[in-house]
Amino acid sequence: MTFLDYAPAPESASILNLKSEYGLFINGDFVPGKGESFTSISPATEQQITTVSCASEADVDTAVVAARRAYERTWSKLSGADRGKYLFRIARLVQERSRELAVAESLDNGKPIKESRDVDIPLVAAWFFYYAGWADKLDYAGLGPAPRSLGVAAQVIPWNFPLLMLAWKIAPALAAGNTVVLKPAETTPLTALLFAEILQQADLPPGVVNIITGAGATGSALVNHPDVNKVAFTGSTAVGREIARSTAGTAKKLTLELGGKGANIVFDDAPIDQAIEGIVNGIFFNQGQVCCAGSRLLVQESVHDEVVDRLKERLSTLRVGDPLDKNTDVGAINSASQLGRMRELSDIGEQEGATRWSPACTLPDKGFWFPPTVFTNVSTSHRIARDEIFGPVLSVLTFRTPAEAIAKANNTPYGLSAGIWTDKGSRILAVADKLRAGVVWANTFNKFDPASPFGGYKESGYGREGGRHGLAAYLAPAAVSSRGSSRSSSASSVKALRGGTK
């Protein structure tokens, strides 16, 4: 044995107290769904974790009705300070149960426990704390005095950061005074269901948050339900387009956070060791299953060889394996279908003439695994430089001048994230100014904070989540007529806003 073969240090799954079957969380209670229930498996072992209900169209309607009732009778009548109290309570409960939530997340999603423990769950709590603080300060959200909530929000979230995406959606919606029906991804419902238990613990009034599980049909029924006022979706660009089409012409407000093909730009004067870490964090964090991943590495040609050499050396120390082991750096791919896409696009990369490299690593027999992969000799016309692979696959391209770096970085239908690595502050500002990306990181990558807005340009979607900007997605400026007694009139003004769709 060598020291670097660290002895196994698994986080025990025995901290979890899971039920063998979960219903839909509607109106404050778990109720059986009318659809055909399905199982959630651990992508690391393919073992079944639990059975989950599937919400039929009728269940979706029940959930929306519950959310509407809670909105009109309870939530819209509470003061901001009182809504804030519930959000603070939820945030504290998330912290108290953080270890359990981290284990559940890694079990269900396949991400390394060190990420769910040190990134996902702390950010979940931070998001609730942050928006709890906003709940009684909406006058300062930039929408004028006494902005109004929208009503019922339909929220559909992805599987890559299951609980964090739930927090990004639910925290601002509740702070702004809306009620919620949320559908977690089909492959990662577990932490959303544990979160429903937290809501019961927090005594959140029934119906304010409803969590319905299911697949695409459930999500479609939810966003197309005539009585929702707001649709928020994070996921693939293809599904985002479909939702945009179906909500067009309705009074529903829409925010979309879709795919990306982020450029991570390394200039020749970059702090090299930290840039290498940033490249690793940019594309191998969460197995690269990150919409804002730095999947295109743009390196100044003069330092290309050195950067690639050092990157390969660094990747050889990455530990791929059991997501619950505290020393695992790269965990399992979330599903067989995602794995299939990574394999397909990587094969295409090879066929197109790019050079493929992976460090020596033994992948487990069971489960869905893909080794960290680097493609060099990639051209802008290659599909691996254009298509979102959504996996631990890095495409390395070169540039000669800052202008060329900017042009290549912007040469994509997406526009979610970008990174700049240089020791020169003036260059950071000059380049960031010209990048068409919603988030630009300087000398870091994949850093998130609830105070910072996040969102995309072009095919990466529209609307912003996080910060004061994130509130705008769940608020409307006060109607002039509602001056005076905004609280009692809020329900009726929302009806007016809905334009009689009920």
Partner 1 sequence: METTRTVTSIAPASRALEVIGGDLTERSLRRYLEGIPGVDAVGLEARAAALGTRSIKTTSKAWALDKIIELTDLTTLEGSDTPGKVRSLVAKAMVPDPDDMTCPRVAAVCVYGDMVPHAVEALGSAHDDGASGRINVAAVATAFPSGRSSRSVKLSDTSDAVAAGADEIDMVIDRGAFLAGRYGQVFDEIVAVKEACRRADGSFAHLKVILETGELVTYDNVRRASWLAILAGGDFIKTSTGKVAPAATLPVTLSMLEVVRDWHRLTGEKIGVKPAGGIRASKDAIKYLVTVAETVGEGWLTPHLFRFGASSLLNDVLLQRQKLSSGHYSGAAYVTID
| Interface pick for partner 1 out of 37, 98, 224, 443 (rule CB under 8 A) | 443
Choose between 52 and 307: whose C-beta lies nearer to partner 1.
Answer: 307
Q: Which of 269, 344, 350, 449 binds partner 1 (CB under 8 A)?
A: 269
Q: Which residue shows structure tokens 């990369």?
A: 349
Q: Which of 302, 317, 337, 355 binds partner 1 (CB under 8 A)?
A: 317
CB of 327 to partner 1, least distance (A): 6
Could you give the string, one character per residue 369-408, with x where binding to partner 1 holds by CB under 8 A and - elsewhere? ----------------------------------------
Q: In what order do the strands lie in the sheet with 29-31?
A: 29-31, 24-26, 209-211, 179-183, 152-156, 230-234, 253-257, 461-462
427 binds partner 1 (CB under 8 A): no
Residue type, 386: R
> What Cα–Cα distance (Å) separates residue 365 from each residue in 43, 188, 242?
12, 22, 37
Residue 98 near partner 1 by CB under 8 A = no
Q: Which residues neighbour 329 within 8 Å (Cβ) at sequence distance 6 or greater?
A: 112, 114, 284, 318, 319, 320
Stretch that binds partner 1, among 16-24, 136-144, 268-276, 360-368 (CB under 8 A): 268-276
- Length of the chain in terms of residues written: 502
423 binds partner 1 (CB under 8 A): yes
Which CB atom, from 5 or from 365, has the smaller least distance to partner 1?
5
Q: Which residues of 48-60 are buried (b: 16+ CB within 10 A; e: fewer)?
A: ebbebbbbbbebb
Given the complex with partner 1, which of 11 and 387 has the nearer CB atom?
11
Q: Please report whether residue 48 would count as binding partner 1 according to CB under 8 A.
A: no
CB 346, CB 387: distance < 8 Å: no
How far apart (Å, rounded) are the C-alpha atoms in residues 6 and 225? 52
Nearer Cβ to partner 1 (28/278): 278
Smallest gap, in angstroms, from Cβ of residue 326 to partner 1?
4
Nearer to partner 1 (CB atom), residue 9 or residue 430: 9
CB within 8 A of 348, min separation 6: which ones?
Answer: 383, 384
The single residue among 79, 201, 274, 355 that binds partner 1, judged by CB under 8 A, is 274
Q: Which is nearer to partner 1, 115 or 257 (CB)?
A: 115
Q: Give the DSSP H or E segment for 340.
A: helix 336-351
Residue with tokens 């519930």, as numbered in its chain = 86
- Quote the longest CA-to-CA distance of the chain: 75
Asked whether 430 and 402 are in contact (CB, 8 A), the reply is: yes
State which of residues 273, 305, 344, 350 lies at the interface with partner 1 (CB under 8 A). Answer: 273
The residue from 257, 388, 459, 465 that is catalytic is 257
Among 97, 111, 114, 304, binds partner 1 (CB under 8 A): 114
Query: Annotated catalytic, 46?
Result: no
Least distance CB 152 / partner 1 (angstroms): 41
Rule CB under 8 A: is residue 347 a binding residue for partner 1?
A: no
Q: Does 305 bind partner 1 (CB under 8 A)?
A: no
Site size with partner 1, rule: CB under 8 A: 26
* Distance separating alpha carbons of residues 109 and 323, to the nearest angstrom: 9
User: Residue 3 CB, nearest distance to partner 1 (Å)?
Assistant: 5
Taking 3-state DSSP, the helix, strand and coil percentages for the chain, each rounded to the nearest 5, stand at 45, 15, 40
The distance of closest approach from Cβ of residue 285 to partner 1 in the complex, given in angstroms and rounded to an integer, is 11
User: 97 is written with which tokens?
Assistant: 């149960």
Query: CB of residue 305 vs partner 1: minimum separation in angstroms?
Result: 13
Whether the CB-CB separation of 270 and 421 falls below 8 Å is answered with yes
Annotated catalytic residue 292: no
Tell me how far CA of residue 137 lies from CA of 130, 174, 399, in angstroms: 12, 13, 47
Q: What string marks each residue from 325 to 344 as x (binds partner 1 by CB under 8 A) or -?
A: -xx-----------------
Q: Which of residues 4 and 480 has its CB atom nearest to partner 1 in the complex? A: 4
Contact between 301 and partner 1 by CB under 8 A: the answer reads: no
User: What's the rounded Cα separation, in Å, for the pair 360 and 372?
Assistant: 10
Active-site annotation, residues: 257, 291
Residues within the interface to partner 1 (CB under 8 A): 1-9, 114, 118, 269-275, 277-278, 317, 326-327, 423, 443-444
